[in-house]
Structures are given as structure tokens and as C-alpha cells.
């Protein structure tokens, strides 16, 4: 084992000042993979702390490159493990020196034991979670309370991953913390009518560009996993003509999927008339997730990939700059909304623009209770102005 080094116990710097109370908490969906943090923050031998579904997590990378995720809590006397040491192989508690193998959580050593003790440290486990690296994120599987310890070879749902349409592309990542519960974060993500107001900008769209839109939706069922990733799809369509970036792509076709617990997949494929070169399609894809940190706060993460001018050095930083502006507009709106939600006001949802929000709440309740039908029994046409 290498030399034990102190771990940084401080969480990552908050992007916004969260109010003390931001409305009522939301029920959270367990038994799912969630993006914990960017994996490039974790070099070999390094750790970081974060919060998922009100669980404090210690996430790190062992010397061999393998990621781990533990509840940031020593099972002995409850001190955060992040206050202790990590040598690239084991995590050691600051209080009494208990040492744990972090991937399994198995206790390797209890320094206070003597030859008179019969306790076997290897029978003790700290709480650890399955973790996988995809698309630049450390994804952590958070089981339901009381599920017990998950073995390394346990059958788990597939780790979410962004679809790519070729081997050469650029990627970008964005992140923002939101001072609202996960339900408000998700219905804000799927809200089709806020664009001309929240995202009003010369490079996106103006309030004067509002016009009526018609979109087709269809149900997405997950029969193999008992509705785990059920959702709905905005069927393939030409993207909004009043969104400036889409005009640069020629004649793109967009498909948007919303699936539980809070993922939005968007794919943009450019049609054939002059858009293909050497038989290769031009495409853009994104995966946006809304992850509950606590019962009343959440975090939005955006993973984007594209092959459009991917070889041009400035394309990625420019895309990230404008993308960050876009996400910051949503974040600022949520910060302002949180002030109103402190008094727990009565709220309303209307048709047709708020229909996706109604579907989300119905799907979530079906997932939580295990009862009920999919809210869409077939294709549906919705109309709104935006």
C-alpha cells in the first residue's frame, strides 16, 4: 500500500446560493443510475464528495484506475470517511483508523483489535455503491433503502449512455445546481413554452418570433424492466424555425425522448440534400439529466456530442460558451422561482403546453406505486405557441 494522504473533505463549490427553503420536497426514485460528478475530476488516487438523493457520497479512483463510490460515513461511529485518508487502495477513517477497500466496502483492518478479540474485520462492510464511467461521468447506482449490499456481479439496469452516430466527434459537458426539487427541475426541462422568454437572445430567438406549433408525441414503454424507463417521445420533426442555431444546419430532423427518472435525449440528424459527405451523416446528440441532490434541490447535467465541423478547433469552446449561457438562463429562472415557492403556493398545469408535465407526474406515480397504465395509449398531437 502507498502512503496515506489526507482527502479533501470540502464539497465542490456551489454554482448558486441556494435559499434555505425552496418549496415542498419531492419524492425521489431509487433503484436507478445517476450521474454523480465528472469523472475527469478524479485522477488515480484522488477523491471527491457529492450528494445524491440525500446520500453523502465519497467518490474516488483507485491507483489501478477503478472508480468507487461509498456512503461518506464510517459504519463504526458515523464520522465522514472523507475526513480521513486514502492511499490509492484503501480508505482509512480519521477517528479510529478503520480501513476499508472502497469498491466493495469491506473492512480490511481495525487497529484497536488485539489477540484477545474474535471479531473478523472482513465481515464488516461500509456502504458502497455500483459505479460506472460513461460519457465523462461517474454514474452511481442508488438502490432503494433496505435493498442490502449489491454484489459486483449483480444484474443491474443498463448504464445510461449518449447515442453517437459515428466514431469521430466532439463532446462537451455542462452543469448547474438548481434550488428546486427534482419535479420542478424536470418539468422545466420538458416545458416547450418558456423558450422565447427565458432564452430570449439574439443568438437563439426573440419574443416576436412566437408562433403556433404542432408536435406529435408517442408513448415509450419499457416492458423488459417493468416500466423502469418508461416515457414519451416527441416524434421526428423539423426543429423550431425560430431557433437560430438550427438554421445553420440546413434541413435537420429532431427526435426528443423523455424517460424516467429524469432524462431527456435529443438527436438531430441532417437530411441528405448536401448534408452528407463521403456517406457520413451530420448529427448532434445530447443527454440532459436532472438529478435530485436533496429532497428540495437538484442538479442539471448536459452531455453533448456532434460531428458537425468537429475538426475545427474553436467549435467546441464556442458551443460550450453558448450552451453555458443557455443553461445559466434556466438556472437563474429556477433561482427566481424558488423565491415564490417558499410559501408553498397552489400551482396549475394547462393543456397543451403542460401536457408533458402531466404525463411525467403520472409516469412517476406509476413507477413509485407499481400501479396504473401509461398515460398515453397511442400517438397524441399537441398544439402550443412558442
Residue 66 belongs to a domain: yes
pLDDT at 239: 61
> How far from chain centre, in Å, is Cα 310?
25
In a domain, residue 79? The reply is: yes
**371 and 228 part of one domain:** yes
Per-residue model confidence (pLDDT) at position 20: 45
- Residues 205-219 have a mean pLDDT of 76
Domain shared by 263 and 331, yes or no: yes
pLDDT at 14 over 50: no
Is residue 160 situated within a structural domain? no
What percent of the chain stands above pLDDT 90?
46
Residue 243 scores a pLDDT above 70? no
Is 155 domain-assigned? no
Q: Are residues 111 and 256 in the same domain?
A: no
187 and 75, same structural domain?
Answer: no
Question: What are the tens digits of pLDDT across the range 79-89?
Answer: 999 999 999 99
> Which strands make up the sheet holding 263-270, listed edge to edge?
170-178, 297-306, 283-294, 263-270, 252-259, 231-237, 212-220, 380-385
Q: Which residue has the higher pLDDT, 58 or 178?
A: 58
Q: How confident is the model at residue 201 (pLDDT cuts 50, 70, 90)?
A: low
Q: Provide the grid cell at 372.
A: 396504473
pTM: 0.86
Length of the chain, please?
386
Residue 60 lies in a domain: yes
Number of domains the chain is built from: 2
Task: Please tell me whether residues 122 and 198 are part of one structural domain.
Answer: no
232 and 360, same domain (yes or no)? yes
CATH number at residue 19: 2.102.10.10
* pLDDT tens profile 42-81: 999 999 999 999 999 999 999 999 999 999 999 999 999 9
Based on the domain organization, do 53 and 193 belong to the same domain?
no
pLDDT of residue 208: 61
Asked if pLDDT for residue 295 goes beyond 60, the answer is yes
Q: pLDDT by residue (tens digit) across 328-384?
A: 777 777 777 777 777 777 778 878 788 899 999 999 999 999 888 999 999 988 887
On whether both 380 and 279 belong to a single domain, the answer is yes
Distance CA 197, CA 192 (A): 11
Q: For residues 271 and 253, what is the distance between their CA atoms, to the nearest angstrom?
A: 7
Residues 125 and 187 placed together within one structural domain of the fold: no
127 grid coordinates: 456502504
Instruction: Return the closest-CA partner of residue 33 out of 132, 140, 131, 134.
Output: 140
Alpha-carbon dihedral 307, 311, 316, 317, rounded to 10 degrees: -170
State whether 209 and 83 are in the same domain: no
Q: Which of 125, 142, 159 is the last residue of a domain?
A: 142
- Interval 175-193 mean pLDDT: 86
Query: 283 and 183: one domain?
Result: yes
**Percent of the chain with pLDDT strictly greater than 70:** 79
Residue 218 has pLDDT above 80, yes or no: yes
Indicate if 135 and 203 belong to the same structural domain: no
Is there a domain that residue 127 lies in?
yes
Query: Is 243 domain-assigned?
Result: yes
- Tell whether 164 is covered by a domain: no
Task: Show the domain range for 88.
Answer: 5-142
Amino acid at each position: 500500500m502507498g502512503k496515506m494522504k489526507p482527502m479533501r473533505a470540502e464539497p465542490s463549490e456551489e454554482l448558486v446560493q441556494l435559499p434555505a427553503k425552496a418549496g415542498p420536497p419531492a419524492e425521489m426514485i431509487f433503484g436507478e443510475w445517476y450521474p454523480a460528478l465528472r469523472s475527469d475530476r478524479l485522477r488515480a488516487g484522488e477523491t471527491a464528495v457529492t450528494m445524491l438523493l440525500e446520500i453523502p457520497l465519497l467518490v474516488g479512483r483507485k491507483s489501478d484506475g477503478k472508480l468507487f463510490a461509498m456512503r461518506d460515513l464510517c459504519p463504526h461511529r458515523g464520522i465522514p470517511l472523507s475526513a480521513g485518508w486514502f492511499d490509492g487502495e484503501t480508505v482509512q477513517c480519521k477517528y479510529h483508523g478503520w480501513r476499508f477497500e472502497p469498491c466493495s466496502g469491506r473492512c480490511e483492518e481495525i487497529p484497536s483489535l488485539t489477540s484477545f478479540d474474535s471479531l473478523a474485520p472482513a465481515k464488516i462492510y461500509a456502504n458502497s455503491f455500483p459505479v460506472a464511467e460513461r460519457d465523462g461521468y461517474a454514474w452511481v447506482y442508488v438502490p432503494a433503502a433496505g435493498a442490502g449490499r449489491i454484489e459486483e456481479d449483480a444484474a443491474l439496469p443498463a448504464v445510461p449512455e449518449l447515442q453517437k452516430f459515428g466514431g469521430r466527434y466532439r463532446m462537451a459537458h455542462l452543469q448547474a445546481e438548481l434550488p428546486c426539487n427534482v419535479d420542478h427541475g424536470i418539468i422545466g426541462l420538458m416545458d416547450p413554452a418558456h423558450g422565447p422568454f427565458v432564452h430570449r437572445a439574439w443568438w437563439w430567438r426573440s419574443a416576436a418570433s412566437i408562433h403556433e406549433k404542432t408536435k406529435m408525441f408517442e408513448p415509450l414503454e419499457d416492458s423488459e424492466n417493468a416500466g423502469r424507463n418508461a416515457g414519451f417521445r416527441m416524434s421526428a420533426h423539423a426543429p423550431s424555425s425560430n431557433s437560430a442555431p438550427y438554421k445553420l444546419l440546413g434541413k435537420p430532423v429532431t427526435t426528443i425522448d423523455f424517460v424516467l427518472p429524469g432524462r431527456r435525449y435529443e438527436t438531430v440528424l441532417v437530411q441528405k440534400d448536401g448534408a452528407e459527405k463521403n456517406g457520413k451523416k451530420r448529427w448532434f446528440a445530447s443527454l440532459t439529466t436532472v438529478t435530485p441532490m436533496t429532497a428540495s434541490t437538484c442538479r442539471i447535467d448536459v452531455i453533448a456530442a456532434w460531428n458537425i465541423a468537429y475538426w475545427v478547433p474553436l467549435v467546441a469552446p464556442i458551443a460550450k460558451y453558448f450552451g453555458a449561457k443557455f443553461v445559466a438562463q434556466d438556472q437563474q429562472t429556477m433561482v427566481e422561482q424558488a423565491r415564490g415557492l417558499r410559501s408553498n403556493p397552489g400551482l396549475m398545469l394547462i393543456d397543451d403546453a403542460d401536457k408533458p408535465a402531466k404525463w411525467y407526474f403520472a409516469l412517476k406515480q406509476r413507477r413509485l406505486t407499481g400501479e396504473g397504465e401509461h398515460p398515453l395509449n397511442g400517438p397524441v398531437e399537441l398544439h402550443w405557441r412558442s
